[in-house]
Amino acid sequence: MSIVKGTGGYLSFTGSLITDLNYTILLWIKDATRPGGYHLNYRNTATTSISVRSSATQMRHTIAQEFAATGNQDHLVAVDNWFSVAAYPSTATPKVYDGATESAGGGFSGDFTAEVSPEMWIWANGGSEELDVDTQLGAIAIFDRILSNTELDDLINSDQNPLETYADDVVEFWDENTGISKDGSDNLITWTGYNGSVLTPSGVVTVDDTDMSPMDAPPVAMSAALTGTITASTNEGDIVAGGKVIRITLTGDTFKAAGTGPIGTIAETQALIDGLTSDGSE
C-alpha cells in the first residue's frame, strides 16, 4: 500500500526525530510531475530545519541552521517512477544519493540549537500544503547516523527494507506494508512508524492497495512452538515403546519441502531429530 496525496493533503508529526547532524533520511517516492515543494520538512526549532524537496527538475536537500549559512544540494531524479533518494550531511555539506550518483552541495556552518517543539511534515511547509495531488510515498526511514554509500546501495539498489539489516540504526521508519489505519473509503486515518511515531493526515490522504514501491516487505519475526504428547511424565519406557509425538509449529517461516526425506533430504530430517535434546533424565 502506498500513501497518496489528495486535495489539501499532507501528514504531520510532533516530536523529536533528528537531534544533530548525524542522520540519514531515505524516502521512497513517486512524483508524477516533480513540482516544487516539500516531500519532508523537519524543524528542530522555528529557524533550524532539514528538508528534502523537489525543485523544477531536481530533488533538493537543504539544511537551514540558526545563525548559520543554508546549505543546498540539487540532484536529478526520474519523473513518474518509483525511486529512492537519500539525504545526509557530510563535511559540512548536504548530500543527495540515489544509489548511483552522489551530489554534494553548498556548505553550511554551526550546529543545531536545542530543540523547541520539534515537528515534521510530509508534503507541507509547516501547516501549508505543497506538491501536486497524486504524489505518492512508499516509505520514510530516518537513521541516527550517516550511512555510507555502500550501505545505501544495499537499501536503494536492491530495494532492501531497512529493518532487514539496519534496524538498530533506525530512529523511525514508516513502511507502506505495516502501521496503516484507513477507513472504508481508503482514506488514511493514521500511519504508525516502527518505533511508534504516528503521522496524522490533514486534507485528503488516501491509501493505494495496488501501486506500491519496489521496497521489500519488512522481515517477519520467526518462531517455533513445541507441542505434542511428550510431556514431563514421559519416561524411558515411553521412548522405547514409541508412539509419542513432537510437533514443531513454525510462525513466519516454513519447513524445507520434502525431498528424499520428509523435511528436505534424509540427512536434513535426521539432523533435525538429532538436534532434539531432552530436559528430563530418562
User: In whole numbers, what is the pLDDT of the chain averaged over residues?
Assistant: 83
pLDDT at 13 > cutoff 90: yes
Mean of pLDDT values over 136-142: 94
Does an H or E element contain 19, and which?
Answer: none
What single letter denotes the amino acid at residue 196? G
What's the gap between Cα 94 and its chain centre? 22
Residue 67 has pLDDT above 50, yes or no: no
Identity (one letter) of the amino acid at 31?
D
Residues 232, 238, 242: CA angle, nearest 5 degrees: 125
Cell 496525496 -> residue:
5
CA distances (Å), origin 34, targets 95, 176, 227? 19, 21, 56
Element at 154 (helix H, strand E):
helix 149-156
The whole-model pTM stands at 0.76
Q: What is the mean pLDDT of residues 68-85?
A: 69
Nearest to 2 by CA among 120, 99, 122: 122
Q: Where are the domains of the chain?
A: 2-208, 223-274
Q: Is the pLDDT higher at 232 or at 185?
A: 185
pLDDT tens digits, residue range 220-264? 555 777 787 777 777 777 777 777 788 888 776 677 788 888 888
2-208 CATH: 2.60.120.200
pLDDT of residue 170: 96
Q: What is the DSSP letter of 169?
A: G
